[in-house]
Structure formats: C-alpha cells, structure tokens
Amino acid sequence: MGEELKGRVALVTGGTGGIGTAICARLGRMGARVATTYRNREKAEAWQKQMKAQGQDVAIYACDVGDYDTCVALIGQVEKDLGPVDILVNNAGITRDTTLKKMTPQHWRDVICANLDSVFNMTQPVLTGMAQRGWGRIINISSVNGQKGQFGQANYASSKAGIHGFTMSAAQEVARKGVTVNTVSPGYIATEMVMAVPEEVREKIIAQIPVGRLGRPEEVAHVVAFLASEDAGFITGANLAANGGQHMH
Ligand code: CAA
C-alpha cells in the first residue's frame, strides 16, 4: 500500500494496547501522521519511546474517551498540532467480564461508556469536518462477541453490537460526502485482554476457532489499513470480520 496515506492525519483511540499498537504502526508506515489517546501517562510515554525506536512518531494525548467534552478538547488539540483528522479509528475498549448474576450497574456502565459512548464522543466532533473536506474514514473496532454474544460478556457484547448500529447509521448520513464508516470485528487476538481470560476457558475458546490459533494484532491492522485506503471508498456501513472463522454469517 506504499505511502498512500501521506498527508493524512489518523487518530487512533487506545493506541497503546495490543491491537491499537499494530494499527498505529501500520497507518504510520502508510505515511499518515498518527495520534493516539491514553489513560496511563507512564505506560504511554514508555510506549511512545518504543515506537520511536522502531521509526514511528506517534503523538500521544491524555483522554477519557467516555467523556464528550474531553474528546472535543482533545480533537481540537490534535487538529492544532497535526491538522484536521482524516481517519478516526475507534479502538479503545475495556472488559469487565462477569455473569449477569454478579454484574453490577458499575460493571455495565463502565463498559458501555468506554466502548460505546466513546464512539459517539469521538465521531460526532470530527464527522462534519470530514464531510466538508469531502474525505474521511471512520473505522470502529467491534468484536466477534458483538455478533454472537459471549458467556460473561453481556455488557461488552452489548457495547460491541451497538457499535455496528452506530456504524450503519453514520455511514448513511455521510455516504455522499466521501466519508466511509465501517466496523471491524476481530475475533480472539493474542493481546493482554485475551490473555486475561482464564487459561482453561481460553483453551476451550481456541479449540472453537477453525483456523486453530489466536489472531495477530497485525491481522486486524491489515483490515483497518484496507478500509482506510483510497480504493475502499465504495465500502461503507460494512462489518468486516477477522476471527479465524469462529463466527460466520
Ligand atoms: N457456556 C456455558 N456455561 C459456561 C460457560 C459457557 N461458555 N462458561 C462457564 N460456564 C459455566 C461453568 O461451567 C459453571 O458451571 P457450574 O456452576 O455448573 O460449574 C458456571 O457457568 C459458572 O462459571 P464460572 O465458574 O467460570 O463463573 P465465573 O463467574 O467464575 O466466571 C467468567 C465467569 C468470568 C465470565 C469466565 O467464564 C470467563 O472469563 N469467560 C470468558 C469470557 C470471555 O470470553 N471474554 C473475552 C475477553 S477478550 C475480549 O473480549 C476480546 C474480544 O473481543 C474477543
């Protein structure tokens, strides 16, 4: 794909995580100027140094993606520093896995806020500018579990299913303006989030993946890069799965 995103600005939420890191690196290699949000300054600064050592310059910004006003301020700062946001990857997400029997309103709210409110909070402030400039890419990271549900993830699966409803609606609103909005639904990827699942449970899940292994973060970043590319302009409102065949529909 060469340097086809040269001159573009990409904002990736939660870029310091497993999948986020691969997305930042990939968009950077395609020539985009990349910015990401973080919650933990120490972790983010160490991450930024590591990226730099690999030749990747990523701008980092403290941001609670669950808070609209904070997101508006962050986007203002990114636009001041790097220029208007052309590509937004809503990647930030958390889990609070527990059965409904034990799920508290806090477990529910934390996940809906970080995973779903965040998609509104970041997209709403950038969408009009993208439409006015006649080019934009919004890529929302959902999950296989938003498509099929998962024992212990009523909160997470709801947030991830909600993301695609958002994608399909936003896609219709800006389709004529050169802006595409798509969902990527990764399956179980080898990241800290998946490694936090008890080993016994994880092994059972891996046994249900036809490809026979966990996915790699780079394999998700590849789908994001494809959707961000120029030639993906006719793909909008889609939900692309990268799940090793675990769920087909
Ligand atoms: N289907 C049916 N029954 C199940 C089950 C399942 N998948 N999993 C567990 N059970 C049963 C258990 O056998 C147990 O039955 P008994 O009481 O008869 O023995 C009962 O349900 C309770 O199970 P646990 O003891 O495991 O309950 P727990 O509260 O200790 O743990 C849990 C529940 C935290 C949800 C745990 O099962 C778990 O972590 N599951 C994995 C959830 C998961 O896949 N998370 C994905 C995280 S990664 C991610 O989210 C990224 C992504 O997008 C894919």
What domain range is 14 assigned to?
Answer: 9-238
Helix (H, G, I), strand (E, B) or coil at 36: strand
Q: Where are the alpha helices (DSSP H) in 54-153?
A: 68-81, 105-112, 118-133, 144-148
244 within a domain of the structure (yes/no): no
Q: For the chain of 249 residues, list the mean pLDDT of each consecutive stretch of 10.
A: 90 98 98 97 97 97 98 98 98 98 98 98 98 98 98 98 98 98 98 95 97 98 98 98 96
**Closest ligand 1 atom, CA of 186?**
53
Q: What is the pLDDT of residue 1?
A: 58
Cα(201) to centroid(ligand 1), Å: 7
Is residue 4 in a domain? no
For the sheet with 136-141, list strands across it. Answer: 58-62, 33-38, 9-12, 87-90, 136-141, 179-186, 239-242
| Distance from residue 248's CA to the centre of ligand 1 (Å) | 22
* CB of residue 98 inside a 6 A radius of ligand 1: yes
The structural domain count of the chain equals 1
User: Is 213 contained in some domain?
Assistant: yes
User: How many angstroms separate the Cα of 117 from the Cα of each of 52, 114, 122, 158?
Assistant: 31, 6, 9, 12
| Rounded CA separation 44/49 (Å) | 9
Q: How far apart are CA 209 and CA 226, in angstroms?
A: 24
- Give the CATH number of the domain where residue 89 resides: 3.40.50.720
Catalytic site positions: 156
**Residue 151 CB–ligand 1 contact under 6 Å:** yes
Is 245 domain-assigned? no
Q: Phi and psi of 103, rounded to 5°?
A: -75, 130
Tell me if 78 is assigned to some domain: yes
Full-model pTM: 0.96
Sequence-ordered strand ranges (E) for the chain: 9-12, 33-38, 58-62, 87-90, 136-141, 179-186, 239-242
